[in-house]
Amino acid sequence: QVRLVESGGGLVQAGGSLRLSCAASGRTFSHYAMGWFRQAPGKEREFVAAFSRTGAGTAYADSVKGRFTISRDNTKNMVWLQMNTLKPEDTAVYYCAADDSWGVVVRTRPDEYYYWGQGTQVTVSS
């Protein structure tokens, strides 16, 4: 069982930055594929960024490439999402996700993750 707790969301002006944190429980955190997703009102949950299960691979949505950076520290059971040059269209609830099923590729679909956090709101004003 894994429990994920996100933090770091808030209100920021366009062009600003936020750093989201995801604290994970569990003794084998280093074996988990980790991802960030977001969901805006009236829209489906969409992929933002993720690590593969081994941590060797990363992937980003085209809309955030060059602006967002995912990182992890397995010794602290933490994953972060550094978000720079934020835009109003980045406004959404951001979710941390984890999965420990076998696989080497980076997972970019919500149905590929079993564990989810409660989400943290990010609002970017224009």
What does the pLDDT read at residue 104? 84
pLDDT of the residue at 47? 98
CA distances from 112 to 36, 49, 64, 100, 116 (A): 12, 13, 20, 10, 11
pLDDT at 67: 98
Least confident range of 17-26, 35-44, 51-60, 79-88: 51-60
In the chain, pLDDT over 90 holds for what percent of residues?
Answer: 83
Q: How far is Cα 119 from Cα 78, in angstroms, rounded to an integer?
A: 15
Instruction: For 95-119, write each residue's pLDDT tens digit.
Output: 999 998 888 899 999 999 999 999 9
Tens of pLDDT, residue by residue over 56-90, are 899 999 999 999 999 999 999 999 999 999 999 99
Q: What is the mean pLDDT of residues 5-24?
A: 97
